[in-house]
Every structure is written in structure tokens, then in C-alpha cells.
Amino acid sequence: MQNVDYMLELKGISQRYGNTVVVKEMSLSLPRGSIGCLLGPSGCGKTTALRCIAGFEQVQAGEIVLDGRSVAKPGLHVAAEQRRIGMVFQDYALFPHLNAAQNVGFGLTGSRADNARRVAEMLELVGLSDYAKLYPHELSGGQQQRIALARALAPRPKLLLMDEPFSNLDVALRERLCGDVRDILKHEGATAILVTHDQDEAFMIADVIGVMNEGRIQQWDKAYNLYHLPANRFVADFIGEGVFLPGTVLDDQRVEIEIGVIEGEFDAPCACGCAVDVLLRPDDIIHDDESPLKAIVREKAFRGAQILYTLQLPSGAEMLSLVPSHHNHAIGEPIGIRLASDHIITFRAADAASGACCDA
């Protein structure tokens, strides 16, 4: 196997407030130059994990290795200011009495000429060269966040940590800034970790995403795999949309559900005859007027180019289908559908007797 050069490694770190363990045996490895993301619902421990990495919290178990050097483990705590980690927060945290250029140059320790060059370079990188002399209150939220990013990157930190950096911005601006931030980080060759509860942000920016729940990383993976190969039900539920339908495994390539047989690669080896729940994404169900298989429209959500239909099967089970929006059907109308799934994601049936089916 190739030797990967990791900028950050968490090795089973745990962090507790009082008696409550907030981060539980968390491990991840982030290659140099990569953008990672901790994604999860509010309160799952993302910010606490980030604070441990930054050095604001002392870990109670495990080890943090930054650029090949241990910076935290029980009995060792390298101070935050010695870790060379940059931070960007939700509220920008710019110095109000310093102009944009002075904010960007704040943490620089080189010669005057070197600092001025670096400030100019960073302002250009974030597209705000013309705003150097303006004060934070004269800048929009998006511009302030770009200055905060330029300030954090200017001293060339080993690692950049971003805690919900876009949550104060409106949706359109957030989308644009997400793309820009990714370009800026890649241009700088920065290694970064973003914390967010918003999967669209995570998908737009990150190379690798850790889905967190109750203090644990459930899956540390690429966005594609989180969606198509979720490691467990939590990830399957949290990422994207979908429903679970009961099914029966026929063999190692086929599973039968109410609307037919899905053939494809199984995510997990599975014994025949097992009762499973099969994950169906809205793109696994195609609307087809010619299909003899019908389902009744129960709900519809207009999404511009597409409509997300909630469809009811004869058994009463519901599933989702994403359909081009010129196929505009009424609630209560039966429409033709067919299966278009070629991979099979199953989990142990929720109501299966213990040990009666595979451990998927």
C-alpha cells in the first residue's frame, strides 16, 4: 500500500465535560492538502472535536498527531498558539478597529516588506484587493468571511479549522462562497477541517467527510460513498433522502422487494433468505408511463427542474421518486414506476428476531 502523508491524525480521542463523554474514541486521518469535514446534527460533538484539535481542550484519552508530531495525549498538551493552526469562525471575529489589510496581516511575523507582499497576495486570492483600506463594518458578511479566511491562511498554518463559517450568510451567497473557499484552499495547498451541520456545504467543499452522531464518527469517507455505500442506518438516514422497504435476500446478487427484484453488488455479504430493509434513494425509482407497476402520488415537492414525489405502494409502504418536472401528476393519481437500482444497500430488518438474519 502507498504511504500516505497525513497532516492530521486523531487516534481514538475522547473528551468529556463532567460525566458526559462528548467525543468518543474518535479516529481519523487527513492527508496533507486535503479538506476534511465533520458533519452531523447539532450537539453531536463537532465543535468539541475541533477545539481538541485546536488545543483549547485537553483530550482525556487518545492522541492527536499534527504534521508527524504528537501534540496531545494524556500527559501531553502542546499549547494552542504553538500548534500553528488557523481558525475561521461563524461570526468572522475580525478586529473592528483594523482595516481589511491590517486584519489579514495581523498574525504575520516576517519583515514589513514580506508581510505587505503576503497581505496583497491573500487579498488578491480572496478577490478583495480593492477593499484593503475598508473596515469590517464597511464590508458585507461574505466579504468579512473572505477577510477572515485570508487572515487565517496568511501565516501559512499547518491546518485550518473552520467552524460553521457560512451559517450567518444567506443561501445564495453561501453556495457561491463555498465554491470559492474550496478553490482558495486548493490554491494555497491548505489542509483544512470544516465543521457543519449542512450536508450541501460538506459536499461542496470537502474531499472527505466524517458523519458524526453522539460523539462518534459513523463513517469517514468520500461524499459518493456516504450516499451510495452508507456504513449504517444513521448515515443512510442523515445523508440524502431515501426510504427503507422490507425485502428478502434471494442470493448474493439479488434481493426481492414489493416492486421487484434488485440485482447488483451487495454492500455486505448476506445469507440467503434473510429479512432485510433495503435502502431506496429517490433516483432508484424511475417514473415510466409504460410500466405496468403503479404507485399512487401521496405528496409532491416542486424543485424546479424536478418534482420529488412521495408514492404509495399497494402494501401501503411509501417511497420517493425524483421525476423531471414536466411530468406533473396530481395527488391521488396512480403513476407508472420501475426500479432503476443496480446496487443493493441492506440493513438488518428493524423487526427481525435477533440472530435470524445476516448482520448487515
CA–CA gap between residue 94 and residue 12 (Å, rounded): 34
Q: How many residues bind ligand ADP, per CB under 6 A?
A: 10
Can you tell me which residue has the cell 402520488?
A: 297
> Which part of the chain contacts ligand ADP (CB under 6 A), choosing from 41-49, 140-148, 226-234, 295-303?
41-49
Which positions from 303 through 322 interact with ligand ADP, judged by CB under 6 A? Answer: none
Report the nearest approach of ligand ADP to the CB of residue 48 (Å). 3
Q: DSSP code of 275?
A: E
Mapped onto helix, strand or coil, the DSSP state of residue 150 is: helix
**For ligand ADP, which stretch binds (CB under 6 A), given 36-44, 139-147, 165-173, 202-210?**
36-44
Residue from 10, 13, 30, 47 binding ligand ADP (CB under 6 A): 47
Entry field: residues in the chain: 360
Judged by CB under 6 A, the stretch of 35-43, 91-99, 118-126, 285-293 that binds ligand ADP is 35-43
Contacts of 340 (CB under 8 A, 6+ apart): 283, 284, 285, 286
Interface with ligand ADP, residue 143, by CB under 6 A: no
**Residue choice 7, 8, 34, 45 for contact with ligand ADP (CB under 6 A):** 45
56: contact with ligand ADP by CB under 6 A: no
CB of 72 to ligand ADP, least distance (A): 16
Is residue 29 within 8 Å of residue 4, measured between CB atoms?
yes
C-alpha cell at 330: 396530481
Residue 279, interface with ligand ADP (CB under 6 A)?
no
- Confirm or reject binding of residue 281 to ligand ADP (CB under 6 A): no
Sheet of 6-17: strand order equals 20-31, 6-17, 61-66, 69-73, 76-77
Among 3, 19, 42, 82, binds ligand ADP (CB under 6 A): 42
| Minimum CB distance to ligand ADP smaller for 191 or for 196 | 196
Alpha helices in 162-198 (DSSP H): 171-188
* Smallest separation, CB 269 to ligand ADP (Å): 34
The binder of ligand ADP chosen from 43, 107, 110, 324 (CB under 6 A): 43
46 binding ligand ADP? (CB under 6 A):
yes
Our finding on whether 174 is near ligand ADP (CB under 6 A) is no
Residue 136 binding ligand ADP, by CB under 6 A: no
Comparing CB distances to ligand ADP, the nearer of 43 and 264 is 43
All three cell numbers of 252: 448474493
Q: Which is nearer to ligand ADP, 83 or 216 (CB)?
A: 216
Pairing label, strands 208-213, 216-221: antiparallel
How far apart (Å, rounded) are the C-alpha atoms in residues 59 and 75?
9
All three cell numbers of 119, joined, read 497581505
310: left (phi over 0), alpha (psi -120 to 50) or beta: beta
CB–CB of 255/262 below 8 Å?
yes
**Contact (CB, 8 A) for 160 and 192:** yes
Residue 17 contacts ligand ADP per CB under 6 A: yes
Nearer to ligand ADP, 46 or 281 (CB): 46
**Residue with Cβ nearer ligand ADP (164 or 188):** 164
Among 28, 35, 37, 48, binds ligand ADP (CB under 6 A): 48
Q: Which residues pair with 296 in a beta bridge?
A: 312, 334
Closest CA to 246 of 323, 347, 103: 347
Contact 148, 93 (CB under 8 A): yes
The nearer residue to ligand ADP, 43 or 107, going by C-beta atoms, is 43
Q: Does 344 bind ligand ADP (CB under 6 A)?
A: no
Helix ranges (DSSP H) in the chain: 46-54, 100-105, 112-125, 141-153, 171-188, 199-205, 223-228, 233-238
The answer to whether the beta carbons of residues 359 and 349 sit under 8 Å apart is no
Q: Which stretch binds ligand ADP (CB under 6 A): 43-51, 67-75, 128-136, 351-359?
A: 43-51
Rounded to a whole number of angstroms, the minimum distance from the CB of residue 7 to ligand ADP is: 22
Shortest Å, Cβ 218 to ligand ADP: 13
Footprint on this chain of ligand ADP (rule: CB under 6 A): 17, 22, 40, 42-48
